[in-house]
Copies of this chain bind each other. A is one copy, B any other.
Amino acid sequence: MESYEAVCILNAGEQDAEIRITVFYEDRDPVGPYCFSVAARRTRHLRFNDFTDPQAIPRGTAFASVIESNVPVVVQHTRLDSRQEANALLSTMAFPAS
């Protein structure tokens, strides 16, 4: 298994969600938005490694993200760290900003 960072987005509502993700770095300007949709009453996994537009996220670079949605969604962030023999999984709920 390869290391990855991912978000799982739950749209429990009746309206499709338009998601805009902005990625922040330590030493250069933020990049984005990366745009996705999550259909009504669906969940969707997004892996940051798969992001390509407007540009790929460099591997091995620390980053943070802000996730905006036009409708209420719930976001869980997961990281799989496979640099060691035993993978480490960590997960946090996204911090809700009003």
Contact = CB atoms under 8 A, between A and B. Distances in A.
B66 A43 contact: no
A88 B85 contact: no
Contact of A84 (B26, B42, B87): B87
Contacts of A84: 1, 86-87
Contacts of A76: 64, 92
B25 A42 contact: yes
Contacts of A81: 87, 89
Contacts of A69: none
Interface of A: 1, 8, 10, 12, 22, 24-27, 29-30, 41-45, 62-64, 66, 72, 74, 76, 78-79, 81, 84-93, 95-97
